[in-house]
Structure 1
Amino acid sequence: MTLPRRLWAAVEPLHAVVYFAPETAVAAKAVGLRGYWMGYFAGRLAPLGPIGPAAATSMLFGFAPAMVARALPDAWSFAAPADVVDTRLSAVETALARVLSEVDELAALLERAVDACRFDGRPLAAAWSAVPRPSGVLGRLWLAATILREHRGDGHVLAAVHAGLSGLETTLTHIGDGVIGRDDVQPHRGWSDEDWAQAVARLRDRGVLDASGSLTSAGASLRRGIEDDTDRLASAPVEALGEAGVARVLELAVPLSRAVIDAGVVPVPNPMGVPRP
């Protein structure tokens, strides 16, 4: 596994707490948002301001447009984006405090990695990078992990689009590679069975998937190319840390991420394909 990928796998669970911790759902409800998915879309996109569904779907990439449109722009009639950001940060600090301690060094290392990022063509990462760093170390840790996550995620979208894939088609290559299963993804991304079947047919016609839905040799090559491009586009934080710095991040982050997963805060398997590091 490449260094950028190892860095992602080690740190991603620390970000992913925000999607599963009960504190996040309680905070979203308290600020006025209605239902889990309104809280998800508003919470993830709030640093961008009162964004509409078309732009949101484009950036999120893997979600069905109709699913996004059920939450946006209605969310902003219930809660202001700035309030959503503030309550989300507070909630995740509380959630992390249940599991983690002694994260000062890791937070500082991740912030050094963030400082090396460029945000050209990376709207989600750019938006989160503009959020002021919290005073508490757990908030700092989560925000840095989130910026790095969205930086890599934005790069992954660029790589997939360059490869000629839509968001759903990209998801199908993950499934075809055995990374995640359809049941882990489809209910959480809003795609109908018809949408799914049409996307599968397009990838079969292109020679990316075989009759069973697995990647063909050409599909595996396409998948490797996307992952290699994603790693290349995520290389700046790794270069800033250096091999020794990345090794130290892994040494510190892996036990913390395992603790988050083992405590049941982040389930495995999950729709993002985040493994237990």
Structure 2
Amino acid sequence: MPPSPTLARRFWQSFEPVHCVTYFTPEPAEVTRALGLAKWWTGYFAGRVAPLGPVGGPAAAALFFAFSPAKTGHALPEAWRQVSPEQVLRARLPATREALDRTLPADRAGLPRLVELLELAVTGCGFEGRPLAAAWSAVPPPDDLLTRLWLATTVLREHRGDGHVIAVAHADLTGLEAGLTHVATGDVTAEVIQGTRGWTDEEWEQARRRLVARGLLDRGGRLTKAGGTLRRDLETTTDRLAADPVMLLGESGVAEVIELATPLSRHLVDTGVFPLPNPVGVPRP
């Protein structure tokens, strides 16, 4: 019997803050600035697509369609004029390791077993229609456990994220419209989503009107009954599309990952490294 979607979601939430250390600590940003990428968002997008090569604006907009095409389209051509994807990857991996070493709790007795389980879970991922996850899965892991931990969490979360893009597109939503429905759940604020994703007030308002016209939002920006159903279906589909690594581990393996990863992630939340609320919409595990 396949695992429940709730188990797939708990699996992801248990380690997502570990992956996100690379976005919320200074070390990765400092190394990309040293390479010539002065703007934080340029380093962010270059860092996420580095294993794919010199991705340009239209492809970036497709990969990151939760973001404004103007934001992604500006960042990546600018990045590749300064540095190669290989240079970005070589710089960010050790910088992320340093950030993890500094921010994770001192007690890491379960780390070897956690890495073993997460790397096993990666082998259960199918990469059809999942370009970011596929590219990161091809990055050879070094010997140190912290970088292996981060790479495994990266493949798993990009596998889920790519699946979420598939689910959103199948629901006939744009990335911006999906963002508005996410805000309407109350899990994340409009300020966080609009501010980080780069949408203008006009774009935001146009998307809101489209969702009202479809009967998914009311005029106050709240989910209608149909909108609530669509949002639940969207999350359920995302969980289902992320279930392959969970099925490979089985319920006992996933429970062990959650047991080992949760203290690490909670430490990152409780020490302020991973903020609440956050643009991902991840709660404290």
Tell me the TM-score normalised to structure 1 length: 0.98
- 1:9-24 map, 5 Å: 9-24=13-28
Pick from 42, 46, 53: which aligns with 2:46? 42
Distance 2:281 2:58 in 1: 25
Secondary structure at the aligned position of 1:164 is classed as: coil
How big is the alpha-carbon RMSD for the aligned residues of Structure 1 and Structure 2?
Answer: 1.0
Q: Give the corresponding residue for 1:70.
A: 74
CA offset digits 1:39-61 (Å, max 9, x no partner)? 00100111110010110111111
Give the counterpart letter for 1:42 in structure 2. Answer: A
CA offset digits 1:107-154 (Å, max 9, x no partner)? 111000001101000011011111111211000000000000000000
- 1:99-248 map, 5 Å: 99-100=103-104, 101-102=108-109, 103-248=111-256
Does residue 5 of structure 1 match 2:5? no
- How many equivalent residue pairs? 277
Distance 2:268 2:254 in 1: 20
Distance 1:40 1:253 in 2: 24
Distance 1:263 1:90 in 2: 22
Distance 1:30 1:260 in 2: 26
Distance 2:261 2:222 in 1: 33
- Percent identity, aligned pairs only? 56
Range with greater deviation from structure 2 (28-37 or 200-209): 28-37
- Unaligned ranges ≥5, structure 2: none
Pick from 11, 16, 28: which aligns with 2:32? 28
Q: 1:99 Cα shift?
A: 2.7
Give the counterpart letter for 2:22 in structure 1. Answer: V
Is the contact between residue 64 and residue 72 of structure 2 (CA under 8 Å) also seen in structure 1?
Answer: no
CA offset digits 1:83-126 (Å, max 9, x no partner)? 11111111110011013333111111100000110100001101
Pick from 87, 92, 100: which aligns with 1:88? 92
Give the counterpart letter for 2:219 in structure 1. Answer: A
Give the counterpart letter for 1:190 in structure 2. Answer: G
Distance 2:188 2:151 in 1: 26
Q: Give the corresponding residue for 2:102.
A: 98
Is the contact between residue 35 and residue 83 of structure 2 (CA under 8 Å) also seen in structure 1?
Answer: yes
